[in-house]
Amino acid sequence: MMISLLLCSILFASTVLHAEGPFVTKGKATIFSNDISPGCQGSRPAALGSFQGPNGSTILVPAETKFINGKRFHDFYNQCASVTPNTMAQVKIESMEITTIDPDGEVITGYILCDNYCELYINGQLIGTDPVPFTPFNSMIARFKVKKPYTIAIQAVDWEELPGLGSENNNGNPYHAGDGGLIAVFSDGTVTDTSWKAQVYYISPITSPDSVQIKSDNTRYTYQTPRNISCGDSCYAAHYPIPSTWMNPGFNDADWPKAVVYAPSTVGVNFPAWTNFTSFWGKNQFIWTSNLVVDNLVLFRKQVDNPTSVNEDMDAIPFFDIQLQDHNIRIASSSTHSNVQLHLYSVLGENLGSYTIPHIGSNAPAEITMNPPKGNYLVLMILESQGIPLFFKQCIMSY
């Protein structure tokens, strides 16, 4: 089965959709795998199906992925792999492999939770694939070394039990349209928010071929929000051709709409991969497109830039550049300060240490070594001088 699926994956990867607009299908897809995952207790079968597309192409639903032969994420919480920490102190990242993109880059750790499946690319290079395509819900860790600026690209999939109909069984109703959601927190301070771009490429179920409208910002908008759509096996789906270079830094996403943020309560994350670490995830938001229910295959992009330089001849707000590497922290400022205090607090209010910096400036950056207790922390970092706060930064530290 694994060999045949691999051959199918290679075959479908070679097909390209040439239609500019959506290709509309009706009813169920042809199922060629009832479950692509090995499964575990509590799992839903991750079925794959296909439609005959335009110009002899093949359309995979819910998505064409790298699941079969792609490199896996490290597990943050994964019931299927028996990785079930209760606290951040039990999460050990020291032995996790780091994917090197730039040898002289910064080591960045990303924590990701997808509803249901996702893949992460950095500067076009695949960093990891989700080990659980459907359920039970899990979360992942990615570690990579890269220089700024760099590009994050994520393919996210809300999986389905009825391929082509965007539906799953819920309380005996096989035509329940589930919802998606993505949250990510990176150690360089990057989080999921409206600065990301998001575009949908597979929409289902919809009640008619013209259910999707294009807004002025190129949002592919579907007005349907009910999770139980009555068309059943006669529902339609809209498929958009995916650009082959969508994950690369040079791809032009100027016409993609901004991501839409959703509260955790709206996404409905009531499982341990989330609830065991609510203080770690903090107040960060989930993102998706304009429709959390019927938008099933969503591509995300985020450009992470270098800090903007400040002209010191101008009467400007001081700018601070903080870089973390293991236990060391390097701090530079666009203006000069003396007797600076650095305070570290966990999101739970725990004081992780305070450090005195005699002098700091753009031509005289300070380098200090921190010694907090071992563990992983989502930290609020505060710089102050003579009791006056100079700078705040939220970041992830792991020791």
Kindly state the helix (H) or strand (E) to which residue 342 belongs, with its residue range. Answer: strand 337-346
The per-residue pLDDT for 11 is: 35
Q: What is the mean pLDDT of each run of 10 residues along the chain (399 residues)?
A: 36 38 95 89 92 95 96 96 91 91 94 97 98 96 96 98 93 89 92 96 95 94 80 95 97 97 93 92 91 97 75 47 73 78 72 81 74 71 70 69
The per-residue pLDDT for 347 is: 58
CB 370 within 8 A of CB 341: no
* Neighbour count for residue 346 (Cβ, 10 Å): 19
Phi, psi of 276 (to 5 degrees): -70, -15
The per-residue pLDDT for 387 is: 63
The per-residue pLDDT for 362 is: 61
In terms of Cα–Cα distance, which of 89, 106, 78 is closest to 377?
89
The per-residue pLDDT for 57 is: 95
CA angle 35, 200, 61 (to 5 degrees): 25
Kindly state the helix (H) or strand (E) to which residue 358 belongs, with its residue range. Answer: strand 351-360
Strand 366-369 versus strand 328-333 pairing type: antiparallel
Tell me the C-alpha distance between 256 and 242, whole Å.
13
pTM above 0.75, yes or no: yes
The CATH number for 320-398, chosen from 2.60.40.10, 3.60.70.12, 3.40.50.300, 3.30.70.100, is: 2.60.40.10
In the chain, domain spans: 10-304, 320-398
Kindly state the helix (H) or strand (E) to which residue 373 belongs, with its residue range. Answer: none
The per-residue pLDDT for 92 is: 86
CA atoms within 13 A on the CB side of 276: 20
The per-residue pLDDT for 367 is: 80
* 111, β-bridge pairs: 141, 185
Q: Which two tokens stand for residue 295?
A: 């938008």
The per-residue pLDDT for 363 is: 62
